[in-house]
Structure 1
Amino acid sequence: MTTLELTPPVIQATQVLTIAVGAPLITGVIARVEAMLQGRHGPRVLQPYSDLAKLFRKESLAPRGTGPFFLAAPFVAMACYLTVPLLIPVLTSYALPLGFMGDILGGGFVLALASFVVAVAAAETGDSYAQLGSSRAKTFGAITEPVVLLVVFTVAIVTATDLPYVLGATVRSSPDQIVRPAHLLASAALFMVILFETGRIPIETHTGTTELGMIEEARPFEHSGPYFAVLKWGSMAKQLILFTLLLNVFVAPWGMAATRDVGGVLLAVVLLLAKSCVLGGVIAVIDDSFAKLRLFKITEFVAAAFLLAILAIFTLYLGGG
């Protein structure tokens, strides 16, 4: 009995579709868990899909004075987000044809390009709130990027390369690899960066429009209709990409397909979404368990992640690698 196998291009397309289609589900699960922790009914798990569909049906408006870049920015950012799944292990433990075209650092550059494009589009509007969010995003982004660089350097020292597939294989090779002190410190630093990048803590709020804490919600302030829907969808996709990077490379690189068998690939899709839902639940608990920090405290939070990344490198040279 022969098993149906997928070609590498089809698997790569499946990876992109998994991120694009599954991203709103993870956002819905997090919102549902947060509501339960706060003692309220909350939205349905599938509510983000309904919200996106509603936005796609609405009229699009653009501020006076903006150019074609303002309207193109959401689609450019979405294209950047959907490029990263081609470079990281999403569904397979082996590298696909495009898997070696970029490393973790290259994927970070693509995500940074998406953030830059959205920030420039927000600044072009001239709106005070949009410019405020754009300025804050780039200011704090300059602090978090060195943390990601140090995490990548730690990976490069351990595996002699910063290719995500190689690190995932290293972690899977032995249970001792995942409890290595340097690996744990680097994973903790990356987790703190994810908390910041997804707007969970210590940002004032990730869903409201409170001026003192607006960053992620302020940048698309002037977009509307389908353009706003693409920005929201891209933000959800970015969250799932970061979850996938942490899970399939650093923390739990298991449950991925080792062959091109259809059943194995589909099982990998289910397991990735299940792992991401669990991680989202953990983040929701953290988000509801700590008081929101003031805006100027973000630098202290990111500085703690930076110190963890520094300690990871020092630990390697002191025998903890």
Structure 2
Amino acid sequence: MQPVTVLVAAPGLSGMIAKIEARLQGRRGPRVLQPYYDLAKLFHKESLAPAGASWFFLAAPVVAMTASLTVPLLIPVLTSFGLPLGYMGDIIGGGFLLALASFSVAVAAVESGGPYAQLGASRAKTFGAITEPVVLFVVFTVALVTGTDLPYAQAATVRSSADQIIRPAHLLASAALFLVILYETARIPVETHTGTNEFGMIEEARSFEHSGPYLALLKWGSACKQLILYTILIDVFLAPWGLASTTRIHSVALAVLALLGKAVLLGCVVAVIDNSFAKLRLFKITEFVSAAFLLAVLAVFTLYLGGG
């Protein structure tokens, strides 16, 4: 149910955020279910591949989707207890899987030979070299606080005492992770996620040469990645409540509703940020990501200075 929940709900979350953004701008906006209609339309279209592209060009969307849907088996999406795979992979393992998905899409963009796709892949890997250490330092903070880097242990620590949420190390690590989420989901002030301006395209450019069902998989996988990152921030760091403590149907159903409610609230925050800031110039994005890195480093330092 955890991967299925992410798979089914992810496009709806994107549609909800788009609707909220439109309302904030005084527009009617698209329907909340519009992403589902777009995916259905793409799945009925023809798939094309650039001349000279290898088999990996068409395999990359499948690899990225598979890697993304494996992460919900490692993190607390619906349950407060670890699933059979929950103790085989920690936060670093989940980060590796998301990195594998991003790397596959970047390689496929290079395979295409398209200038815009290659441009987006180059930018994504350049800035990713800074965001990945941020995630590692967030993991270090979790490991120092809980004695392990399992996300279930961190969630249990937060649930055990509300004081944990306001501790400096926890707040700094959460803030650093939130900035990474803004970058990874192509949100302002980093990128206009719905724009096609070559001066600022990163995520949107990498899928330029894909079409049909493979483009649908890339867009669907991107929505799943967004919900997974939201879930990590919510159910591991900020609000790990509402999770099912048993496998009974009604407990799991309530956990699904709680997850969707918390994800929509976080999406509202992201929508407000998306409409409150102008997009940064491209060379300023490194400063934005570096700020997240400094917050993550400070989170580790405060543990040794009495803030953890």
The question of 1:269 aligning with 2:256 is answered: yes
The question of 1:170 aligning with 2:157 is answered: yes
The question of 1:235 aligning with 2:246 is answered: no
Pick from 30, 34, 42 the counterpart of residue 21 of structure 2. 34
Deviations 1:97-146 (A, max 9, x none): 11111000110000000100000000011110000001001000001001
The question of 1:78 aligning with 2:46 is answered: no
**Is the Cα–Cα contact under 8 Å of residues 95 and 165 in structure 1 kept in the other structure?**
yes
The question of 1:304 aligning with 2:291 is answered: yes
Specify every segment of 5 or more residues in structure 2 that has no aligned partner in the other structure, as ranges.
none
Amino acid across the alignment from 2:208:
F
Task: Judge which range, 309-318 or 228-237, deviates more.
Answer: 309-318
Identity %: 74
Provide the secondary structure at the position in 2 that maps to 1:320. Answer: coil
Alpha-carbon distance between aligned partners in 1 of 2:168 and 2:232, rounded to the nearest angstrom: 19
Amino acid across the alignment from 1:167:
Q
- Residue 4 (structure 1) aligns with: none
Superposition deviation, residue 288 in structure 1: 0.4
Provide the secondary structure at the position in 2 that maps to 1:217. Answer: helix
Superposition deviation, residue 205 in structure 1: 1.0
**Is the Cα–Cα contact under 8 Å of residues 42 and 212 in structure 2 kept in the other structure?**
yes
Superposition deviation, residue 204 in structure 1: 3.4
- Residue 223 (structure 1) aligns with: 210
Superposition deviation, residue 177 in structure 1: 0.9
- The alignment's C-alpha RMSD in Å is 0.6
Pick from 106, 111, 115 the counterpart of residue 102 of structure 2. 115
Q: Could you tell me the TM-score, scaled by structure 2's length?
A: 0.99
- Aligned pairs, how many? 308
- State how 1:139-158 maps to structure 2 within 5 Å: 139-158=126-145
- Residue 244 (structure 1) aligns with: 231
Alpha-carbon distance between aligned partners in 1 of 2:279 and 2:53, rounded to the nearest angstrom: 35
- State how 1:78-117 maps to structure 2 within 5 Å: 78-117=65-104
Specify every segment of 5 or more residues in structure 1 that has no aligned partner in the other structure, as ranges.
1-13
Superposition deviation, residue 243 in structure 1: 0.3
Alpha-carbon distance between aligned partners in 1 of 2:269 and 2:76, rounded to the nearest angstrom: 22
Alpha-carbon distance between aligned partners in 2 of 1:261 and 1:122, rounded to the nearest angstrom: 44
Amino acid across the alignment from 1:156:
A
Alpha-carbon distance between aligned partners in 2 of 1:318 and 1:66, rounded to the nearest angstrom: 53
Superposition deviation, residue 202 in structure 1: 2.4
- Residue 53 (structure 2) aligns with: 66
**Is the Cα–Cα contact under 8 Å of residues 182 and 190 in structure 2 kept in the other structure?**
no
Q: Could you tell me the TM-score, scaled by structure 1's length?
A: 0.95
Amino acid across the alignment from 2:241:
W
**Is the Cα–Cα contact under 8 Å of residues 129 and 218 in structure 1 kept in the other structure?**
yes
